Amino acid sequence: MSFNIVFMGTPKFSVPTLDLLLKNKFNIIKVYTQPPKKSKRGQKINSSPVEEYCKKNKISFRNPEVLDSQEEFKIFEKLSANLVVVVAYGKIIPKSFLKIAKFGFINIHASLLPKWRGAAPIQRAIMNRDKKIGISIMKIKEKLDSGPVLVSKKFELDQNATHDEIEKKLSIEGADLLIQSLKSIEKGNLKLVEQDESQATYAKKIDKNETKINWNKDANKVLAHIHSLSPSPGAWFEIDKERFKVLRVKISSENGQPGYVLDENLTIGCGLNSIQIIELQRQGKNRQTSKEFLLGKKISKGTILI
């Protein structure tokens, strides 16, 4: 059995899977990715990491603004794909598309389904201080992330790791797991396990209103909040009407009032215990260690962070 595969993905999380599919000689007949977007200041048009990979490796791709149209359906249908691999594409797959490929649409999802269905599974797992995190390979059904699971793999969640680090690990593990799954499908010996709907939880998209640091929470929750949003969109505080993103912290044994700077090493009081800032980023600047940062911006003991 040989697959004619359409790959659908957009961010850097998707790239290891596309790369591994090609290295394992799977036949990628077309790649779909989201269209380029303007940077925040509107000066530059940014192609997705998947589009950049396709250009570099001379892979045929499409980046339609709208997927759910009759015109796009006809284009997709003519590809005659018998399998579609979806990795963080970022668009809802229309119901009509799901009926086209013989072996269906296979998705890599960065959680242990049915837990954390939805847009932000890694962030929500870190924020929730889960003990385990994982990756699931599933068949796509119409309802969001509800399809039967082909295989999953779990890992200990390192509370000191940031979202970016965990995402990178899961993208590589997910790519490996997908290749194993496709080889099992080829041999015809892969079993699908339906999800238990009663255990389903949802990882809603991160809202900008939840990115400000709440120093009244205990230090472990503050650390989880900061690491779940690092490096983007980033958890932040303000001093003198200037915003600072905090990218990495550690728990400290110091005690003091929430939001107060407790020493000259950027240790900040929390509702219970405290955290020490290890890395942060000033608006418009590169990320820095706290030591580098304090050479250019003095934040004295007793300062209140809001």
**Mean pLDDT for back-to-back runs of 10 residues, the chain (306 residues):** 90 97 96 88 83 97 95 96 96 92 95 96 97 96 93 95 97 96 85 95 95 97 98 95 96 94 96 97 93 91 92
What are the structure tokens assigned to 103, written together? 């072996």
Task: Dump the DSSP string for 253-274.
Answer: S----TTBB-STT-EEE-SBSE
* CA distances, 206 to each of 46, 121, 133, 210, 260 (Å): 21, 10, 18, 7, 27
For residue range 206-238, list pLDDT tens digits in order: 999 999 999 999 999 999 999 999 999 999 999
Confidence (pLDDT) at 191: 86
**Beta strand extents in the chain (DSSP E only):** 4-9, 27-32, 37-38, 45-46, 61-62, 83-87, 105-109, 132-139, 149-156, 235-239, 242-252, 267-269, 274-282, 287-289
- Residues counted in the chain: 306
Task: Report the pLDDT value the prediction gives residue 38, as an integer from 0 to 100.
Answer: 80
Indicate the domain borders of the chain.
4-199, 208-296
Give pLDDT, residue 201. 97
pLDDT at 151: 95
Burial of 196 (0-12, 13-18, 19+ CB in 10 A): exposed
What pLDDT does 266 receive? 96
Report yes or no: 64 and 93 within 8 Å, Cβ to Cβ: no
Indicate the CATH number for domain 208-296.
3.10.25.10
C-alpha dihedral, 29 to 33 to 38 to 44, nearest 10° = -40
Reported as a single tens digit per residue, the pLDDT across 60-104 is 999 999 999 999 999 999 999 999 999 999 999 999 999 999 999
> What is the CATH code for 4-199?
3.40.50.170
